[in-house]
């Protein structure tokens, strides 16, 4: 070895360490193939619930096959479930499902599951659970009813009949406006973040008349930014105008 290439004692092999550092750095792990990313599983189950019960097993197999094709060996994504709804599901089921997607995330499901678990037993425990949900959230959210349906083996239609028969179990938020703001990538880039910040400041005031939730997708990615106000979708300039109207700007 020549003097020009011979390393001095104690010298650092900086070039070798720099080359190897990317390989040894701990990178975030991607979701495993065939796993459910984000709320994709809950969204898929909500979609299945719109199918008549006698056909749910057949459609589950068919829709899982389509979802698998879209995932291309990767994890199932929320956007892929939305694509299936837009491409395959007819009206009025499509609108019902998309509205359901819009309200997902507005209620902490872990709190609902905790309430349901605190009331052992079967269907006879449902009225007490509904009272507890009303006390916790101020109303009985639809997302909570889905959890009760699954955990207590009660049809959603039965729960709807129960809550609509008694004024003690309102399903709507008591505030004047129920607003869902999409904060997905497309809407975020088109200004949903600024709308969301203004609404958060308004909703935080003691006399707020806004029930606000940030959602992942409203199924209107080509019309971003999108918001859902009291069940009606506003997009683009109309969304900005509606929010300004609500805020009195």
Does the pLDDT value for residue 8 go beyond 50? no
- Structure tokens, 100: 């359901």
Q: How far apart are CA 82 and CA 118, in angstroms?
A: 34
Which value, in Å, is the radius of gyration of the alpha carbons in the chain?
A: 24
Does the pLDDT value for residue 22 go beyond 50? no
User: Directed axis angle between helix 40-49 and helix 78-88, to 10°?
Assistant: 30
Contact criterion met (CB below 8 Å) for 180 and 213:
yes
**What pLDDT was estimated at residue 15?**
42
Q: How far apart are CA 203 and CA 196, in angstroms?
A: 10
Q: How far apart are CA 77 and CA 84, in angstroms?
A: 11
Average confidence (pLDDT) over 141-152: 86
Q: How far is CA 93 from CA 16, 128, 134, 143, 230, in A?
A: 60, 31, 28, 17, 19
Q: How far apart are CA 237 and CA 146, in angstroms?
A: 34
**Which pTM value belongs to this model?**
0.36
Domain parsing of the chain, residue ranges: 40-103, 109-165, 177-247
- Structure tokens, 197: 């910040």
Does the pLDDT value for residue 231 go beyond 80? no
Give the model's confidence band at 106: pLDDT under 50 very low, under 70 low, under 90 confident, else very high.
Answer: low
- The fold of 177-247 is Glutaredoxin (3.40.30)
Contact criterion met (CB below 8 Å) for 80 and 40:
yes
If 0-12 CB within 10 Å is exposed, 13-18 middle and 19+ buried, where does residue 43 land?
buried
Q: Check the CA dihedral 116-117-120-121 and report its sign.
A: positive
């Amino acid at each position: 070895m020549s003097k020009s290439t011979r390393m001095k004692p104690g010298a650092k092999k900086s070039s070798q360490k720099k080359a190897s550092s990317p390989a040894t750095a701990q990178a975030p792990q991607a979701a495993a193939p065939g796993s459910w990313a984000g709320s994709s599983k809950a969204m898929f189950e909500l979609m299945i619930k719109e199918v008549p019960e006698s056909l749910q097993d057949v459609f589950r197999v068919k829709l899982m096959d389509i979802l698998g094709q879209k995932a291309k060996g990767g994890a199932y994504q929320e956007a892929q479930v939305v694509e299936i709804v837009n491409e395959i599901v007819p009206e009025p089921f499509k609108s019902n499902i998309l509205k359901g997607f819009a309200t997902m995330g507005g209620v902490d499901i872990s709190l609902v599951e905790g309430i349901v678990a605190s009331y052992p037993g079967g269907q006879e425990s449902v009225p007490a659970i509904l009272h507890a949900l009303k006390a916790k959230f101020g109303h009985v959210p639809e997302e909570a009813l889905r959890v009760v349906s699954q955990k207590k083996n009660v049809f959603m239609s039965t729960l709807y009949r129960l809550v609509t028969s008694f004024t003690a179990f309102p399903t709507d938020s008591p505030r004047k406006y129920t607003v869902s703001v999409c904060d997905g990538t497309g809407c975020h880039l088109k200004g949903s973040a600024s709308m969301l910040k203004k609404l958060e400041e308004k909703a935080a005031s003691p006399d707020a008349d806004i029930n606000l939730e940030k959602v992942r997708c409203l199924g209107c990615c080509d019309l971003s930014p999108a918001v859902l106000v009291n069940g009606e979708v506003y997009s683009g300039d109309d969304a900005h105008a509606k929010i300004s109207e609500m805020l009195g700007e």
